[in-house]
């Protein structure tokens, strides 16, 4: 099924136009006219989500999925990747599951406004994924580090996949091993992470235990991507200042973010893993 063979790199990063379009549909949910205009023109102010979605999408579009592929985004959040795929591959059947009802309703509103008939959003936790083997691809972006039973969720993903399906993950590298640019970010952690993120060996072992064979591993958030994130998030310790700083640094953070995706790093602060189920 997949065009990426073991040990081979996926296609080069997304084009500038492809990168620019990630998240732009979010203008439809904004109340402020100024914010609506900004997001419609340039996309979301925060670059971190756009970088991680872009790295996953650059791998995903290199996979030889069926024209009518059934694809699940497990823990879709604002569903940047789902909306991007729906507009690029309208024959795909896309399902996004999300625990937050507010996000699910907002995503449904966007899908209806854009006339995306092949998209479905469900209020559901990733722990509930499974049942019949229905999907050609399951992907998840920075979700497992929020889940207590990550090994159990991987087994759920395994059951949800067709026999020749694929699993694609984007995960943060363990924060103690991440390389920072500005000293202040050496103390940066995410409060709702239930573990210290992942090392490559750890997630590979969990995948093997859940019944997967690793097909390819890559990286995101190299120097350019990390610098883009840190510039964009310099006000993280002062929430009242965060958006202003992000706006002022956006002209530099955006091109740096794109460079990280256009020229994928040899090593970075996030992990990309493509795996396939092992036949029982």
* Angle in degrees, CA 75, 76, 78, rounded to 5: 135
pLDDT, tens digit, for every residue of 45-58? Answer: 999 999 999 999 99
Among 109, 106, 105, 84, which Cα is nearest to 94's? Answer: 84
Q: What is the percent of the chain where pLDDT is above 70?
A: 95
- For residue 236, give the 3-state DSSP assignment: coil
CATH 3.40.50.150 is the classification of domain 16-277: yes
| pLDDT: which is higher, 178 or 186 | 178
pLDDT, tens digit, for every residue of 40-91? Answer: 999 999 999 999 999 999 999 999 899 999 999 999 999 999 999 999 999 9
Name the packing angle between helices 223-232 and 239-262 (round to 10°). 160
Q: Is 73 left (phi over 0), alpha (psi -120 to 50) or beta?
A: beta
pLDDT, tens digit, for every residue of 183-215? Answer: 989 888 888 898 999 999 999 999 999 999 999
């Amino acid at each position: 099924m997949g065009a990426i063979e073991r040990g081979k790199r996926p296609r080069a990063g997304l084009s500038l136009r492809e990168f620019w379009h990630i998240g732009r549909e979010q203008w439809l949910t904004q109340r402020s006219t100024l914010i609506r205009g900004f997001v419609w023109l340039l996309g979301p102010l925060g670059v971190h989500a756009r970088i991680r979605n872009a790295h996953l999408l650059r791998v995903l579009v290199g996979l030889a999925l069926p024209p009518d592929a059934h694809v699940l985004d497990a823990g879709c959040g604002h569903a940047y990747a789902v909306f991007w795929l729906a507009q690029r591959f309208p024959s795909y059947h896309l399902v996004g599951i999300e625990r937050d009802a507010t996000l699910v309703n907002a995503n449904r509103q966007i899908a209806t406004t854009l006339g995306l008939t092949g998209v479905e959003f469900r209020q559901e936790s990733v722990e509930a994924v499974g049942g019949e083997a229905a999907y050609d691809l399951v992907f998840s972006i920075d979700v497992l580090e929020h889940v207590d039973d990550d090994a159990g969720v991987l087994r759920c993903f395994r059951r949800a996949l067709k026999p020749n399906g694929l699993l694609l993950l984007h995960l943060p590298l363990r924060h103690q091993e991440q390389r920072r640019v500005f000293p202040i970010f050496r103390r940066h952690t995410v409060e709702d992470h239930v573990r210290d993120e992942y090392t490559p060996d750890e997630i590979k072992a969990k995948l093997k235990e859940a019944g997967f064979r690793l097909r390819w591993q890559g990286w995101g958030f190299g120097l350019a991507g990390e610098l883009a994130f840190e510039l964009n998030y310099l006000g993280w310790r002062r929430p009242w200042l965060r958006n202003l700083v992000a706006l002022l640094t956006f002209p530099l953070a955006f091109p740096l973010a794109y460079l990280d995706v256009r020229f994928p790093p040899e090593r970075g602060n996030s992990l990309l893993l493509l795996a396939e189920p092992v036949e029982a």
